[in-house]
Amino acid sequence: MSIALTPLEDKLIIKVSEPETQTASGLYIPDNAKEKPQQGEVLAVGPGRRDDKGERIPVDVEVGQHVLFSKYGGTEVNYKGEDYLIVAARDILAILN
Protein backbone atom coordinates (compact mmCIF):
# COMPACT_ATOMS: atom_id res chain seq x y z
CA MET A 1 0.00 0.00 0.00
CA SER A 2 1.52 3.38 -0.98
CA ILE A 3 0.32 6.99 -0.93
CA ALA A 4 1.33 10.16 -2.79
CA LEU A 5 1.82 12.16 0.43
CA THR A 6 5.35 12.80 1.80
CA PRO A 7 5.15 13.76 5.47
CA LEU A 8 7.54 16.39 6.88
CA GLU A 9 9.44 16.58 10.19
CA ASP A 10 8.36 13.70 12.48
CA LYS A 11 4.92 13.24 10.95
CA LEU A 12 3.44 9.88 9.88
CA ILE A 13 0.72 9.00 7.37
CA ILE A 14 -1.47 6.33 8.96
CA LYS A 15 -4.25 4.19 7.48
CA VAL A 16 -6.66 3.91 10.42
CA SER A 17 -7.88 0.34 11.08
CA GLU A 18 -11.58 -0.44 11.25
CA PRO A 19 -13.06 -1.32 14.68
CA GLU A 20 -13.46 -5.00 13.50
CA THR A 21 -9.69 -5.31 12.91
CA GLN A 22 -9.09 -4.12 16.44
CA THR A 23 -11.09 -6.96 17.95
CA ALA A 24 -9.31 -9.54 15.71
CA SER A 25 -5.87 -8.51 17.03
CA GLY A 26 -7.10 -8.91 20.57
CA LEU A 27 -6.81 -5.22 21.38
CA TYR A 28 -9.88 -3.54 22.68
CA ILE A 29 -10.33 0.02 23.86
CA PRO A 30 -12.94 0.29 26.61
CA ASP A 31 -15.80 2.72 25.85
CA ASN A 32 -15.41 4.49 29.16
CA ALA A 33 -11.65 5.17 28.68
CA LYS A 34 -10.76 8.83 29.25
CA GLU A 35 -8.53 9.07 26.17
CA LYS A 36 -9.37 6.45 23.52
CA PRO A 37 -6.32 5.38 21.48
CA GLN A 38 -6.70 4.26 17.86
CA GLN A 39 -4.89 1.60 15.84
CA GLY A 40 -3.52 1.76 12.28
CA GLU A 41 -0.81 0.92 9.75
CA VAL A 42 2.07 3.32 9.06
CA LEU A 43 2.19 4.18 5.31
CA ALA A 44 4.85 6.92 5.31
CA VAL A 45 7.34 8.33 7.84
CA GLY A 46 8.80 11.86 7.83
CA PRO A 47 12.60 12.41 7.92
CA GLY A 48 12.49 13.51 11.59
CA ARG A 49 12.63 16.88 13.31
CA ARG A 50 15.95 18.73 13.45
CA ASP A 51 17.60 19.14 16.88
CA ASP A 52 19.21 22.35 18.20
CA LYS A 53 22.28 21.66 16.01
CA GLY A 54 20.24 21.19 12.83
CA GLU A 55 20.65 17.38 12.73
CA ARG A 56 17.72 15.01 12.21
CA ILE A 57 16.34 13.14 15.21
CA PRO A 58 15.51 9.61 13.91
CA VAL A 59 11.85 8.54 14.05
CA ASP A 60 11.31 5.28 16.03
CA VAL A 61 8.53 3.99 13.77
CA GLU A 62 8.85 2.24 10.37
CA VAL A 63 6.59 1.91 7.33
CA GLY A 64 4.42 -1.22 7.64
CA GLN A 65 4.26 -1.28 11.43
CA HIS A 66 0.92 -1.32 13.19
CA VAL A 67 0.76 1.32 15.90
CA LEU A 68 -1.43 2.45 18.74
CA PHE A 69 -1.83 6.23 18.84
CA SER A 70 -3.69 9.01 20.50
CA LYS A 71 -6.23 10.31 18.01
CA TYR A 72 -5.99 13.87 19.32
CA GLY A 73 -3.47 16.01 17.49
CA GLY A 74 -3.89 14.14 14.20
CA THR A 75 -5.32 15.64 11.01
CA GLU A 76 -7.80 13.67 8.90
CA VAL A 77 -7.50 13.62 5.08
CA ASN A 78 -9.33 11.62 2.42
CA TYR A 79 -7.31 10.57 -0.65
CA LYS A 80 -9.04 8.74 -3.55
CA GLY A 81 -11.83 7.65 -1.24
CA GLU A 82 -9.65 6.35 1.63
CA ASP A 83 -9.33 8.03 5.03
CA TYR A 84 -5.86 8.75 6.40
CA LEU A 85 -4.57 10.45 9.49
CA ILE A 86 -1.43 12.59 9.68
CA VAL A 87 -0.01 12.08 13.19
CA ALA A 88 3.21 13.29 14.85
CA ALA A 89 5.54 10.43 15.94
CA ARG A 90 5.39 11.72 19.54
CA ASP A 91 1.66 10.83 19.60
CA ILE A 92 2.44 7.13 18.99
CA LEU A 93 1.96 5.16 22.21
CA ALA A 94 3.18 1.68 21.23
CA ILE A 95 3.94 -0.64 18.32
CA LEU A 96 1.68 -3.71 17.98
CA ASN A 97 3.69 -6.89 17.30
Q: Which is nearer to a second copy, 11 or 40 (CB)?
A: 11
Q: Taking the CB of residue 57, how many other CB atoms lie within 10 A of it?
A: 13
In the complex, the smallest distance separating the C-beta of residue 10 from a second copy, rounded to whole angstroms, is 11
Q: Which of 15, 21, 37, 41 binds a second copy (CB under 8 A)?
A: 37
In the complex, the smallest distance separating the C-beta of residue 19 from a second copy, rounded to whole angstroms, is 13
Strand partners, 48: none
In the complex, the smallest distance separating the C-beta of residue 39 from a second copy, rounded to whole angstroms, is 10
Nearest to 16 by CA among 85, 74, 95: 85
**Consecutive H or E run containing 78:** strand 75-79
Within 49-68, which residues bind a second copy (CB under 8 A)?
50-55, 57-58, 60-61, 68
Report helix, strand or coil for 36: coil
